[in-house]
Amino acid sequence: MPDDDNLTHVATDVGPERSWFDHFADRATGVISHGPFFVFAIAFIVLWLGPAIVFGFSPGWTNVLNLPAVALTVLMVALLENEQRRSDQAVQRKLNTMAGALADFLEKQDVDPHHVEQLRAAVALEERESTSKTGKS
């Protein structure tokens, strides 16, 4: 039975320090996920469309929008994937903490030890079963 003073499942254990890219991704996601960025994107397209309608959609003029749009899309995918990965890891840490705390609680109750062991085996299962083997952020 675990010692109450030595709990290994602590909700505030958030893992290693965040990288510069994690900080950048947080700020960038904060900017692009709000209305002003959407309004800016719509305004840019409208301002691009005006002259395109007047002067024609030449290949050069089409590239004025296409090239930055492709570059921005690739960067946004990288940012959003980083944000999603960190969010998934945070949720998993919370689930591991809850499962560990529940196992500690059940161990003190009149519960079949086999059930407690099954619950403890579920803690950090994602790290043992993951195909990416990336572990922490």
**pLDDT tens by residue, 86-108:** 889 889 889 888 888 888 888 88
Closest CA to 16 of 124, 90, 82, 84: 90
Domain containing 96 equals 20-129
Question: Can you tell me the mean pLDDT for 62-84?
Answer: 88
Residue with tokens 């909700």, as numbered in its chain = 11
Length of the chain: 137
Residue 10 lies in a domain: no
Residue 8 lies in a domain: no
Question: Can you tell me the mean pLDDT for 38-65?
Answer: 86
The two tokens of residue 19 are 């990288």
pTM attached to this predicted model: 0.61
Residue 6 lies in a domain: no
Higher pLDDT, residue 102 or 137: 102
Would you say the C-alpha torsion 122, 123, 127, 128 has a positive or negative sign?
negative
Higher pLDDT, residue 11 or 44: 44
How far apart, in whole angstroms, are the C-alpha atoms of residue 137 and residue 127? 12
Residue 5 lies in a domain: no
Residue 13 lies in a domain: no
Residue 11 lies in a domain: no
Domain count, the chain: 1
Residue 46 lies in a domain: yes
Alpha carbon distances (Å) from 70 to 9, 73, 93, 104: 43, 5, 35, 51
How far apart, in whole angstroms, are the C-alpha atoms of residue 30 and residue 109? 45
State residue 1's pLDDT score.
42
Question: Can you tell me the mean pLDDT for 13-20?
Answer: 69
Residue pair 9/101 in contact (Cβ under 8 Å)? The answer is yes
Residue 122 lies in a domain: yes
State residue 106's pLDDT score.
87
State residue 5's pLDDT score.
40
